[in-house]
Amino acid sequence: MTEMHWIALAESVLAETELTTRFSKGHAACAALPELRRATGFAAWRHEGQLRKGEGKAPYIHHPIEVAAILAEIGDISDVDVLQAAVLHDTIEDTPTTSEELESLFGARVRDIVLEVTDDKNLDKLVRKEKQVEHAPHLTKDAQVLKLADKISNVHDVAFSKPVDWAPERQLAYFDWASRVVDGLRGCNTALEALFDEQVARSRDAVG
C-alpha cells in the first residue's frame, strides 16, 4: 500500500473515531498534524481487520488513537515524536511491522519509543506481565507517559467494554496489575497519574 493510500485511510479512521473518542481536543491534534495523520494512516493499515477484545468489538485502531489523544489532551504533550509513537505503539507487537520499517518511515526516536513499550512475545504471558512491572521505572520519560496513557485506555475498556469471557475477578486482577505497573511510572506526569487513579476507582466501582 502506498503512502497516499494510508493518508486516505487516516482521513476515514479519524472521521470515524471523532464520533467515539472520549478525548476530542486530543483527537483534533491527531487530525491536524500532518505527521500524526501519516502515522495514523500507517497504523490503521497495519491494524486493518483487527478488533479490540471487548464486547464493543471496536476497530483496533481506535485504541492507539485514543492513547495519542489522552497524551495530547490530558498529558499536555505536544512532542510530535511521542504522539506518533503513541499511534504506532502496538504495530510491532501485534502486526507484521518491523523496527527497521518504523525507523525508515518515522525516524529512530519514534522507533525507540515504540520498542520500549513493546513486549517480547517469545516470553510467556505471565512473565511478560511481570517484566512490565519490573521495567516501568527504568523506561525513558517518553515511554513512561505513553505506557501510562495506554493503561488508562485499557483499564477503561476492561471495565466498560470487557472481553466477553472475563469474570469480575479477572477484571479486578487486571486493575491490580495495571496499578502495579503504574506505580513504577509515578512522577512522569501528574495529570495522567491523576486520570489513571480516577479511572481505576471508577472501574473498580463499575465491576463491584
- According to CB under 5 A, which one of 66, 116, 142, 150 is a site residue for Zn ion? 150
Q: Which residues are catalytic?
A: 93-94
Give min distance, CB of 153 to Zn ion, in A: 7
Whether 13 contacts 65, CB under 8 Å: yes
Q: Which one, 33 or 152, has the nearer CB to Zn ion?
A: 152
Whether 175 contacts 200, CB under 8 Å: yes
Q: How many residues bind to Zn ion according to rule CB under 5 A?
A: 2
Q: Which one, 3 or 121, has the nearer CB to Zn ion?
A: 121
DSSP 138: G
Whether 41 contacts 7, CB under 8 Å: yes
Q: Which one, 38 or 147, has the nearer CB to Zn ion?
A: 147
Using the rule CB under 5 A, give the single segment among 54-62, 82-90, 131-139, 186-194 that binds Zn ion: 82-90
Residue 116 contacts Zn ion per CB under 5 A: no
Give min distance, CB of 208 to Zn ion, in A: 26
Q: Which one, 5 or 27, has the nearer CB to Zn ion?
A: 27
The counts of H helices and E strands in the chain are 12, 0
Cell of 69: 489523544
Longest dimension (CA), the chain: 48
Q: What is the DSSP string of 182-194?
A: HHTTTTS-HHHHH
Q: Which residues bind Zn ion (CB under 5 A)?
A: 90, 150
